[in-house]
Amino acid sequence: MVGPSRPQFVLFGSSITQFSFSNGGWGAILSDVYARKADIFLRGYLSWNSRRAVQVLDQVFPKDAAVQPSLVIVYFGGNDSMGPHASGLGPHVPLPEYIDNMRKIATHIQSLSDKTRLIFLTCPPVNETKVRESSSKFLSELVRTNELCKAYAQACVKLCQEMGVKVVDLFSAFQKRDDWMNVCLTDGIHLSAEGSKVVVEEIMKVLKEAEWKPSLFWKSLPTEFAEDSPYDLVAADGSKTLNGSDWIIHRDIMWD
């Protein structure tokens, strides 16, 4: 590890997590928002389901680690909700097992420390037409429907309500936009830059409104090495330097 020590945020999930640093993804946005405030760790695994996630919990989140994360954002459900393959192979996980797996994940992460906070993300809706059009000769047919996505998303929300876990209902959030099918997804499943903005917006709402102490909202965290310096940029009148530690003029969205 490098210093100084900062809060650690871990993104744990399947391909929507693994791809979150590509093409304006939500992980990259969070890294920018939390620059000099927190370190974002990516633990994303293409095609994974909640069953595989449970199998590696102790490796990804060892309970005896010297430093535990301040925040874990978990996304599983999209692959679990795929229709079952006739062979019995593939990522499909029956809904009752998915709920049980997500409960295990939440329980494990909550046990890491008294200060470890947790947010679950539900699966977003899919563009069913585009999914069917995006067939590959290397893969069997992908059975992805909004009926299935909705059932798993609702189950995730209900579980979080029962366990007192913060949850972002992406299935509902995306559909607040009339154009979500065309602008929020790339291949009908994975997120475009516009879709990632929706994810960040919803995460920011949770972080801003949560009554966590300390708050993990970006404006509440100290900026690293933010003291004034004679080596900062010189003001126009030449009389002093200007401390730009908290300047965010490069951002298109302020994320307030």
For the segment 132-172, what is each residue's pLDDT rounded down to a tens digit? 887 777 777 778 999 999 999 999 999 999 999 999 999 99
Whether the full predicted model's pTM is greater than 0.85, yes or no, is: yes
Distances (CA, A) of 244 to 58, 102, 227, 229, 249: 41, 42, 10, 10, 10
pLDDT at 183: 97
What number of other Cβ atoms are within 10 A of residue 204's Cβ? 18
Output the six-digit token pair for 203: 């995460």
Output the six-digit token pair for 3: 């210093």
Query: Average of pLDDT values for 110-123?
Result: 98
Where does the pLDDT of residue 104 fall: very low under 50, low under 70, confident under 90, or very high at 90 and above? very high
Distance CA 88, CA 29 (A): 38
Percent share of the chain, pLDDT over 70: 100
Distance CA 24, CA 237 (A): 38
Residues sharing a CB contact under 8 Å with residue 13, sequence separation 6 or more, in sequence order:
43, 44, 45, 48, 53, 73, 74, 75, 76, 121
Distances (CA, A) of 221 to 48, 217, 246: 33, 7, 11
Q: Which residues are catalytic?
A: 14, 187, 190
Closest CA to 27 of 37, 46, 13: 13
pLDDT at 86: 87
Angle, alpha carbons 182-167-95 (nearest 5°): 80
Three-state SS at 194: helix
